[in-house]
Amino acid sequence: MANQRLRNKTIVITGASGGLGEQIAFSSAKNGANVILLARNIKRLEGIKQEIEENYKVQCDVHYLDVSNHEQVSKVFQRITEENGDIDVLVNNAGYGIFEEAHTVSIEHIKGMFDVNVLGLMACTKEVMPQMRKKRYGHIINIASQAGKMATPKSSIYAATKHAVLGYSNSIRMELSLFDVFVTTVNPGPIATNFFSIADQSGTYVKNVERFMLNPEKLANQIVDSMLTNKREINAPKWMNAGSIIYTLFPRLVERVGRKAFFKK
């Protein structure tokens, strides 16, 4: 059943050139929303735009955006507002990870992950908060990770960025609740996308978790179904989130029992 709340609404999606972001774009358009797609791969965005406009009677605009370039973020969002009006839903999906042990990961990669996963997300969010507060309407959806709830070996930096996203989201959720603006965090486990072509170049992690990987289309549909509702979190898969809850309650026990499995990256 279509999400009637989205008809003719404007949804902005960062990191929309592939994977989960691309699937969120298709699902949003299928539900009657006008979508604005942001990413660095403008050629890929143009292809998605063509496919959306051919299959759905909605407007689709694309813009080149490197979310780590904060000056560029401001200019792109200003242009969107001028051309499309107010943004109803922002999906902060842009992000990446590199799985290495903490003592080997380079400062360049550390800075890069924080610039994109944390500071880029905050920069995009800051652009939409004033208009949403003024209008007393809107929804910010931040794609975090189960890694933000339970860190494991070889993901120290990536997990740290996602912990930051959850902390930021939890804070602004309370701030924006006074203005009827919703904030949702999405905390998935591993998703079957090209994320791991960068994160796991050895292929070891993918080989070990392949059978547990989430379908990006199904997760995207779940996210889109929640748009413009006061949904606090989306956690998937449920069994992995249960593990995160148990970890919060009994961290020492989980680290001891799960040590062998955690190192399978």
pLDDT of residue 256: 75
The one catalytic residue in 56, 158, 168, 247 is: 158
State how far the Cα of 97 lies from the Cα of 155, in Å rounded to an integer: 8
Sites in the chain below the pLDDT cut of 50? 196, 199-200
Burial of residue 16 (number of CB atoms within 10 Å: 0-12, 13-18, 19+) = buried
Per-residue pLDDT tens digits for 16-60: 999 999 999 999 999 999 999 999 999 999 999 999 999 998 999
Domain residue limits, the chain: 4-262
Per-residue pLDDT tens digits for 166-195: 999 999 999 999 999 999 999 998 876 566
Using alpha carbons, select from 71, 114, 72, 121 the residue that is nearest to residue 94.
121
pLDDT of residue 3: 79
Q: Which residues contact 128 (CB under 8 A, 6 or more apart)?
A: 12, 77, 87, 90, 138, 140
Class of domain 4-262: alpha beta
Place of tokens 């930051």: 164
Specify the length of the chain in residues: 265
Whether 158 is a known active-site residue: answer: yes
pLDDT of residue 199: 47
pLDDT of residue 1: 55
State how far the Cα of 49 lies from the Cα of 66, in Å rounded to an integer: 18
